[in-house]
Structure 1
Amino acid sequence: MSFAITDELFAQDFIWFHYFNRYKLSYKFSIDSDFGWREYFDSERYRGQFRSGLRYDINSNMYARAGFMYVDGSVASQEIRFYQDYVYSFKLHDITIQQRIRLEQQTFTDPNKNFNFRIRYNPAIKFPSPIGQWTLAAEPFVSVKKDGSYIGANRLIVGVKNKIYGNVHFTLQYINERAYNRVETGYINETQMIRVRIDHVIHPLRTGPLFGRKKSR
């Protein structure tokens, strides 16, 4: 009985391998890209994604970004997605509070799927611990329609992050995602996933005035 309960609590539907890369173009500008692959433990189900965008650091606490994303797989419709997001963070002692608002425009090659516009809001709290930096976050997905808006999905995220070396960090996350529609009062599907995440920042040769801060006089 105890084994069955433990197995149910820690079982996951898939593992999400995710690599994030930030290539610094200058002090203010960079190219943010990521590649993700979802492993469903069988050869018939898979999902891959690639995303890239231009980032502008407004200051040390804020940045804006815009780009595109490509999604395809046996469990996902082929999709070209455009996005724009704004991220703001601040610190309270050792705790970092971050908020991200992302706008997405989803276009599909499947003629039966319509264009979709949605808003993703991602509040997160980050704090240090002896085993790494913990993150507690949520992310509702709000689909905006002509006849009204509704929450199509919501994620709850728990993760711990550690530096591997230099500008490379490793994060292990547990994500619970629930899907909703307009008709049902409760969620219609629940997915549990483990995400293995690598964050990598690349600084090219820092030559020229683009990489330097302006000195105050």
Structure 2
Amino acid sequence: DNSDGDLYWENKTGLGNGTYNFYAWINDSSGNFNSTSTRTVTVDIIYPTVSIVYPQNTDYTVNVSQLNYTYTETNPNKCWWSNSSGAWNSSPQTCGTNWTDLISIEGPNTWTVYMNDTAGNENSTSVTFNKDTAYPAVTINSPLNQTYDTNSITFNVTATDGSDVDNCWYSLTAGSYNYSMTETNPPEWDNTNASMTQGSHTVNFYCNDSYNNLNDTEQDT
């Protein structure tokens, strides 16, 4: 016991997690007795654990618009998330409710879920994923929209993409037969066709990236 004038106290250390009830009582030399009302304190030194279920640490070719998570905590308080390591945070909400209608950006994304309990213990977890929904940009360099006096024509395009361009090819028959192209001078792809027949030809160019996003809209006659 400790005292200072009319003040009396006792320190309790090493208490484990749980709920504790306490009260104080006193008597004097004449046998008069009194006590305080009972008070309750809760000791919580365990941090919550939180896990992100979706998205995963992988690549996506669609807009990731949900953030799903699970948690373990006896006394949950609030949960919130950030897409900028805490520089911007969502409004805190009741834990257990997933977030929807989100917008992920092209390229790498890092999303973090934060959680605290009623004792103020806070924890977080993050996931990094890559989003690529853009198809390669394709510019036709050759042939031009003109007449050639040779049956040897070079087919050449410039193809760029946020990720790697995987393949380019072209067709003179709207895709029923395709000619492979080679990346000879990045980001240019070409193929020389030495057996072009007389007449008008329409060429369709196709390029896809490593996530199989396909640009099939480039055409020349």
Which structure: larger Rg? 2
The TM-score range, normalised by the shorter chain, is under 0.3
Structure with a larger share of its residues in helix: 1
TM-score normalized with structure 1 length: 0.21
Give me the TM-score of the superposition, normalised by structure 2: 0.21
Higher strand share: 1
- Greater RCO, CA 8 A, separation 6+: 1
